[in-house]
Amino acid sequence: MSAWRAAGLNYINYSNIAARLLRKALKPDLRAQASRRDDSHIRFTKWINGKPEKVAEKI
């Protein structure tokens, strides 16, 4: 089992945390450029029997 799964995270949450930490570690001139990529939105939709049930949450 991977460490992020053992910590109770899904892959999306794990990759968002890792990307945020990497951007904070960059030099100031590169950090400003990378911070523009920090804004992204993902929607999770629950599917049952091949049909979307509802839009669950927006991250």
What's residue 45's pLDDT?
79
What's residue 55's pLDDT?
59
What's residue 59's pLDDT?
53
> pTM for this structure?
0.52
What's residue 38's pLDDT?
66
Mean pLDDT per 10-residue section of the chain, whose length is 59 residues? 82 87 88 74 79 66
Domain segments of the chain as ranges: 3-58
Give CA–CA dist 39/11, Å, rounded: 18
What's residue 16's pLDDT?
85
Q: Which CATH class is domain 3-58?
A: mainly alpha
Q: Output the CA angle 20-23-27, nearest 5 degrees.
A: 160
* Residues composing the chain: 59
